[in-house]
Structure 1
């Protein structure tokens, strides 16, 4: 007998139980993802690899992440958030435990790939759950709260992993969070329920009650291509913060792993607080001017992109400040694109659209990771920071041109004889 996630007459306040579970899942999702970046110098020494070898380890995750993002959105729309997220958390947690046990680089590459197959499913589940439980005027903030666990995972991963490495062994940084993830998977399976959404609330949102578009028709939507190209261009900056920033601080700014544990979490804290504040402001603008208000606010932040150009010449303190601002910029974009998708597409398509866009974002990161691995040793990091500074302004131009609500077709005008 299967556990049902059928619509129930639970109080709207039950959404906070679901939010707490999404927070825990998000925390472990980011913690498990970031372990390799914090341990970059340690893993390079233990496995005898250079930056090109490390890029292979990173891209094993990122390639699988990109491929699975499209499929994960489809899975969520097909089987629902309850079963989907239970599977996703269980698989990524087992892969994480495995990384702490294996002694072969290629087995770790395989397990990081498995992690990449499972982790992207969290985000289509979050947007699908928020679309079902929360009305548009507060949805962006709810999504931000739901994914705030990922930011806090990024904040605490650096000092916790550094502490475990210094006082125990780096392998515990994989095993402990992996075991915790299995407990979260069990809790999600037990407690998740679908809401019985009030009809009046649904009627206020045309996208929520529109029938889902067929898969082939979805790819013909101009707004879909706008969203996916925006993420293709802008996501590599955030992936750099996740996978390369800790190692960059250690290798280019001579930051020890102990000092990294003290300062390396600060950009992720700023991303967390700044991104949450920005999504609240974005919701406020959406109440006033709908999608246009949200879109214009996001585009305005792209002026901060060229701050990347200042990083190579800066002191450690200024570098951390710049990474803080860059991380806020990235989270502001990621936090605002999800409610845009919910405004633009039927509820039956939102998980798929988010999955497709995430796949394109990860694909951009794959290419950028490869360029970093090939170019860093030969040319240094300066050309890469120059390129990163241009990505968000380019994404803003794409958003301006392509991300628009479809106008309803005009009714035919009757001619009097």
Structure 2
């Protein structure tokens, strides 16, 4: 059976194979996000199980997020150094075992350890995914291919509430962790069977230049001297916390502030993530259309991101809404802006930096985005009850407009001035 799959894989034309690779990455990202969403969906259950308050829950979130932030730059470097195939394979195995570990934990210390391990392993996904998209797809298809990959994040957020709620209600909260981890191990095997590096003709079509091995690239230390790197880091630092709020706090907010039960969150909590997914794929396709019309790729991404960011301040209305349905509606719109930025900032990295540097840059940027989320999680956990939700949502309303200013003033194409490529 395995030999048959391997044989058929080599017979597939590269132009079709790349879409199969995208499909496997999509599946991996779906369950990547289901694994991280389990905690937010089961927030009331876990708070009762481990005797946590909101600040204790925020600590659990930050154990995950700090490990995520620290390892993101490391995994970006690893992808550039060892390749997407190997790094992603071991990443999927590790985060799947960590998810299973969460399900067998009996103390808050054990649970925190496995959430930290999950956070350390999950960043392998996105630098590897961006590297694959960059070397397999040309600029006129890159944003669309990237969005189809990363759409797995919101699809995971869509299916997580009903699936996790059903498993927890029908069996136990522990079963939810163990089942999702087991699925992840199967995905790792699938990735190992399917992925291969692109042939030279596809690689040259994607990069528009000589093979990557011959391309000029920045040394690690020289990356930090580029204005665009600091611009992208600041963008992720200020904009990522809004998406992290949607992932980690919105399901609990719907239960504790809007009056939904766990079963109702399972039935309706996926709605903002469906809107986010469809909207972000659509905005990514729009930016690719602008490229086909003759816009410079980087400028096309900037125009799209600026347009969608204009709706993100709507989140300031949330505390004044009278029903859970109106909260879901507002966050459905806000989530489109969040996910469009999360999708396309990765493509901005690919447009602004040499191919040999894209995974490293995304890794550093993802770490800064997670660091912003750590600080925001702490802020929300400490002040949700004292300052009130209104001030928190008002702070969130300003984050994407700030990111717009940074995008236009700091991000530009960066070209190294020295050779050869550092290996």
Structure 1 contact 207–346 (Cα < 8 Å) conserved: no
Q: Displacement of 1:136 after TM fit?
A: 1.1
Instruction: Supply the distance in 1 between the matched residues of 2:207 and 2:148 (Cα, whole angstroms).
Output: 25
Instruction: Supply the distance in 2 between the matched residues of 1:331 and 1:160 (Cα, whole angstroms).
Output: 22
Select the residue among 213, 233, 237 that pairs with 1:232: 237
Q: Displacement of 1:297 after TM fit?
A: 1.9
- Bigger Cα displacement from structure 2, 84-93 vs 146-155: 146-155
* Structure 1 residues 33 and 207, CA gap change in structure 2 (3 angstroms): farther
Q: Displacement of 1:91 after TM fit?
A: 0.4
1:264 and 2:298 correspond: no
Q: Displacement of 1:189 after TM fit?
A: 1.6
* Structure 1 residues 364 and 119, CA gap change in structure 2 (3 angstroms): same
1:128 and 2:131 correspond: yes
**Could you tell me which residue of structure 2 aligns to residue 294 of structure 1?**
301
Select the residue among 289, 300, 306 that pairs with 1:284: 289
1:146 and 2:157 correspond: no
**Could you tell me which residue of structure 1 aligns to residue 336 of structure 2?**
328
Instruction: Supply the distance in 2 between the matched residues of 1:335 and 1:309 (Cα, whole angstroms).
Output: 23
Instruction: Supply the distance in 2 between the matched residues of 1:347 and 1:318 (Cα, whole angstroms).
Output: 43
**Could you tell me which residue of structure 2 aligns to residue 161 of structure 1?**
164
Select the residue among 305, 318, 324 that pairs with 1:311: 318
Map Cα deviations across residues 43-79 of structure 1 (whole Å, 9 max, x no partner). 0111111000000000000000000100010011111
* Structure 1 residues 361 and 206, CA gap change in structure 2 (3 angstroms): farther
Q: Displacement of 1:407 after TM fit?
A: 8.1
CA RMSD of the aligned region, Å? Answer: 1.7
1:244 and 2:249 correspond: yes
Select the residue among 391, 413, 416 that pairs with 1:405: 413
Instruction: Supply the distance in 1 between the matched residues of 2:207 and 2:393 (Cα, whole angstroms).
Output: 47
Give 5+ residue unaligned stretches, structure 1: 1-7, 410-417
1:17 and 2:20 correspond: yes
**Could you tell me which residue of structure 2 aligns to residue 36 of structure 1?**
39
* Structure 1 residues 372 and 297, CA gap change in structure 2 (3 angstroms): same
**Could you tell me which residue of structure 2 aligns to residue 182 of structure 1?**
185
1:371 and 2:392 correspond: no
Q: Displacement of 1:323 after TM fit?
A: 0.7
- Bigger Cα displacement from structure 2, 285-294 vs 307-316: 285-294
Task: Tell me how many residue pairs correspond in the alignment.
Answer: 402
Give 5+ residue unaligned stretches, structure 2: 1-9, 418-423
**Could you tell me which residue of structure 1 aligns to residue 80 of structure 2?**
77
Structure 2 contact 283–304 (Cα < 8 Å) conserved: no
1:220 and 2:220 correspond: no
Structure 1 contact 136–205 (Cα < 8 Å) conserved: no
The correspondence of residues 196-215 of structure 1 with structure 2, limited to 5 A, is: 196-198=199-201, 201=205, 204=208, 210-215=215-220
**Could you tell me which residue of structure 2 aligns to residue 3 of structure 1?**
none
Could you state the TM-score of these two structures normalised by the residue count of structure 1? 0.93
* Structure 1 residues 197 and 206, CA gap change in structure 2 (3 angstroms): closer
Instruction: Supply the distance in 2 between the matched residues of 1:207 and 1:32 (Cα, whole angstroms).
Output: 37
Structure 2 contact 354–415 (Cα < 8 Å) conserved: no
Instruction: Supply the distance in 2 between the matched residues of 1:116 and 1:90 (Cα, whole angstroms).
Output: 13
Map Cα deviations across residues 244-288 of structure 1 (whole Å, 9 max, x no partner). 000011011111111111110000111111111110001112332
1:97 and 2:100 correspond: yes
Structure 1 contact 207–343 (Cα < 8 Å) conserved: no
Map Cα deviations across residues 82-124 of structure 1 (whole Å, 9 max, x no partner). 1100110000000000111111011111100000000011000
**Could you tell me which residue of structure 1 aligns to residue 360 of structure 2?**
352
Q: Displacement of 1:405 after TM fit?
A: 2.3
Structure 2 contact 216–416 (Cα < 8 Å) conserved: no
Q: Displacement of 1:197 after TM fit?
A: 2.9
Map Cα deviations across residues 158-181 of structure 1 (whole Å, 9 max, x no partner). 011111111111111100010011
**Could you tell me which residue of structure 2 aligns to residue 415 of structure 1?**
none
SS of residue paired to 1:401: helix
Q: Displacement of 1:205 after TM fit?
A: 5.3
SS of residue paired to 1:194: coil
Instruction: Supply the distance in 1 between the matched residues of 2:152 and 2:117 (Cα, whole angstroms).
Output: 21
Q: Displacement of 1:300 after TM fit?
A: 2.2
Select the residue among 108, 112, 122 that pairs with 2:111: 108
